[in-house]
Amino acid sequence: MAVVSVTATGQIFYCPQCGNEVMTTKVGGGTLFCCGKPMELIDSDDTAEDAESPETEE
């Protein structure tokens, strides 16, 4: 995970201190903070797989 600025809607940010997660709905730039520290961007590839590919049993 890396600390980055908001660049797109749908990005998910994570607070390593308390575990809060935030999904962006509007791009305004800047860095999101929680617990006094910058939040980390969760890898968009991991997020997309979790949200779009429900596991199925065969």
Q: Is the pLDDT of residue 49 over 60?
A: no
Sign of CA dihedral 45, 34, 18, 25: negative
Q: What is the DSSP letter of 13?
A: E
Structure tokens at 11: 């990005």
pLDDT on residue 18: 97
pLDDT on residue 20: 96
What is the value of pTM for the model shown? 0.67
